[in-house]
Amino acid sequence: MRTDGAPAMERTFVMIKPDGVAAGLTGEIIGRIERRGLDIVAIRKGGMERAVAEEHYVEHRERPFFGELVEFISSDPVVMLVVEGQGAIVAMRTMMGPTDPQDAPPGTIRGDYALDVGQNVVHGSDGPESAERELALHFGVLVAA
């Protein structure tokens, strides 16, 4: 939420999950990010190792769906992005829509392309600390600043 002035320039970590890549949504999602005016600073496609997926989702390690989540994310290729712009973290979260696609309005990525909370097409960092942590984990410390 904006409380004062223009949002700061920032970087966020975005991932097109295996279901999004498999559905051929990579270009569509990247197009939405670009058309919003955000800058794609780095991009990498590949499989995510299980240990990296466990670290990525470490905050959820006690949740009942953790095993299923890690298994899914490391099952097939993902596309990882460093996205930069004014207020980029909130801008991406708003574009993605709520975690459960059943609650996501049309016009959001999840509201347009997903139905199942376990396969919701896209990930985006939920705040400055998680953005820094996730960027460092997936792209190294140089892009995290």
Ligand X SMILES: Nc1nc2c(ncn2[C@@H]2O[C@H](COP(=O)(O)OP(=O)(O)O)[C@@H](O)[C@H]2O)c(=O)[nH]1
Q: Where does this chain bind ligand X (CB under 6 A)?
A: 60, 65, 68-69, 99, 117-118, 120, 123, 126
Nearer to Mg ion, 28 or 126 (CB): 126
Within 13 Å of residue 29, how many CA atoms lie on the same side as its CB? 34
Q: Using CB under 5 A, which of the segments 15-23, 25-33, 80-88, 126-134 binds Mg ion? A: 126-134
User: Residue 20 and residue 23: Cα distance in Å, rounded?
Assistant: 5
Task: Tell me whether residue 138 is one of the annotated catalytic residues.
Answer: no
Q: Which of 48, 5, 28, 144 is nearest to 95 (CA)?
A: 28
Partner interacting with residue 11 (select from ligand X, Mg ion, none; CB below 5-8 Å by kind):
none
CA distance 95 to 93: 5
Quick one: 38 or 92, whose CB is closer to ligand X? Answer: 92
Binding-site partner at residue 138 among Mg ion, ligand X, none, CB < 5 to 8 Å by type? none
Please give the torsion angle defined by the CA atoms of residues 30, 88, 55 and 133, in that order, rounded to the nearest 10 degrees.
140
Contacting positions for Mg ion (CB under 5 A): 126
